[in-house]
Amino acid sequence: MNRYVLFISAFIIPMFVFVSCNSANNDVTSIKALNPVNASVTEAYTLQENDVPINPLDILNLNDKYLIVINKKDQGVFRVYSLPELDYLYSWGRMGRGPDELSFVSLSQINTNSSGLILLENAIAQLKHYEINDTGFVLKKKANLAYPTKKQPFNNLIRVNDSTYYARYGYDKTTDKEFIALRPEFNEALFTFGKYPGGSDLTGAARSQKYSKISTAQPQGKLFASFYRSLNQFKIFNDRGDLVRNISIDDEYISEASSDDFIYRAYVTSTNKHIYTLGVFNTEEKLSQDPDNFSPMIGVWSWEGKPIKRLKIDQKIHRFAVSDKYETLYGFSIFDPSKIYTYKLDL
């Protein structure tokens, strides 16, 4: 597939009887964005030719022990590297419907816990927990994740803690809630929460598309952050669905966008200390016309919603993972999937 097509598709968010939570604070707080500072790559690790991810989709840090590159291909779906050395260990996973194959696994909705990865088979709403070691993946358990009125595949499913998962919600025209909270094997929704921004008469899928978002959960399971893709705004919730912060960003560095295809941020990940976002600050049309002008910025935020640092990086990274322990960002670009770029973070 053409790298430019992959580049644009990497930034497009896929669209696919409850007790509602009350928000503790609906007021929007305006904050000023930090001016960006230039950041040069610390080291570029060139992978051996037979270890090059053909179609990289995402990258994960598993407990500061393994760096896992997820590949959108039929074999070797997960490529595992040691941390901090970045030595290649092995690849694992085959897409298919046979024994021990990954059927209908949503590669864009992979979660982690203290020992491994949690894969979602969206077609049957089932979670598969794999323990990861130096030589392979071991399936430890399966758990169903559904609710009686579920009609659509899960979208942006995020593990908050072992007993709670959040997913995007709101395709139903009868609700104004943005998220749904679920518990494995419970078969009922725990609650719905989050309210869409005002000023729009849209409902259902059209509303979800307009207010598409990227989300992440604090690994220790206390907080959840969600950034709007085409609004310079984000929200932080707790593990009960209460709104903790609702923040609008005043950014003098960029002009406010009126186009619906303007992308502020395209990716988010987090550690217990910080939230990290990939800033795009351009339109899909302009990126598709000349993606070589893509100049990404990494935003670092506290879990209180305060800006910590803003880095204008020198590589066209579109996915990354972060280690607090090693104070390092690990990223790759679809333009050169033969390398993993590292940046030392001085926070």
Give pLDDT tens digits for 205-250: 788 788 889 999 999 889 999 999 988 999 999 999 999 999 999 9
For residue 31, what are the β-bridge partners? 249
- Cβ atoms within 10 Å, residue 55: 12
List % helix, strand, coil for the chain (3-state, nearest 5). Answer: 5, 50, 45
- Burial (CB < 10 A; 0-12, 13-18, 19+), residue 273, is middle
Please report the pLDDT score of residue 306 as a whole number: 96
Question: What residues have CB less than 8 Å from 126, skipping those under 6 apart?
Answer: 120, 142, 143, 144, 145
Domains of the chain: 3-344 (2.120.10.30)
Element (H, E) at 209: helix 204-210
Question: Residue 282: what are its φ and ψ, rounded to 5°?
Answer: -160, 175
Give pLDDT tens digits for 20-44: 344 444 688 999 999 999 999 999 9
pTM over 0.85? The answer is yes
Query: What mean pLDDT do residues 131-144 have?
Result: 95
Give the Cα separation of 326 and 86 in Å (integer).
12
For 312-326, give the DSSP string: EESS---EEEEETTT
pLDDT at 170 over 80: no
